[in-house]
Amino acid sequence: MGAMLAAPVLRFVLYPLYTKQRGSKWSKVGLVDHLPPIGSPPVRKDVTFRQLDGWREVVTTESVYVQRLPNGKCLVLSSICPHLGCNVSWQASSDRFFCPCHGSVFNSQGKHISGPAPRGMDPLPNEAESGELLVHFEYFRANVPNREELS
Ligand code: FES
């Protein structure tokens, strides 16, 4: 009898441990009209999002690089290097992204040029809503050639 009564309570208490992270990873980046014009180099922006991990609410800030495209959309790249997760930085003088950890190099569209990274930089889903650019931040498995979303 006690076990029958305890089962629903345990299920309720342990539920967060068995579910994937929840929460919105859509973040505001800024007004599209305030981004540099089409053809400009990528600009770095910080995005902040909240996730529920078990019973904890986690607030995370990550960096992305944003460019306006001729088709009116935006290309948003994660700044996390697909090799082992360092943050890449844009070097305007050479028109390339560089990773400071092991020297991977990417072009302005995130295409892999050289270095140990097994793929290009990871593009992120994005959309404009009432003139505001929203980005859905995602994490991807490091050091694999094909993009695999983690959470
Ligand atoms: S983490 Fe970027 S090249 Fe290794």
Q: What are the domain boundaries of the chain? A: 20-136
**pTM for the structure as a whole:** 0.85
* CATH number corresponding to 20-136: 2.102.10.10
Structure tokens at 33: 């009209």
pLDDT at 19: 55
Decide whether any atom of ligand 1 lies within 6 Å of the 117 Cβ.
Answer: yes
| Tokens 């053809």, located at residue | 39
Q: Which residues of the chain have pLDDT under 70?
A: 8-24, 151
Decide whether any atom of ligand 1 lies within 6 Å of the 112 Cβ.
Answer: no
pLDDT at 14: 58
pLDDT at 18: 56
Decide whether any atom of ligand 1 lies within 6 Å of the 116 Cβ.
Answer: yes
pLDDT at 20: 54
pLDDT at 55: 82
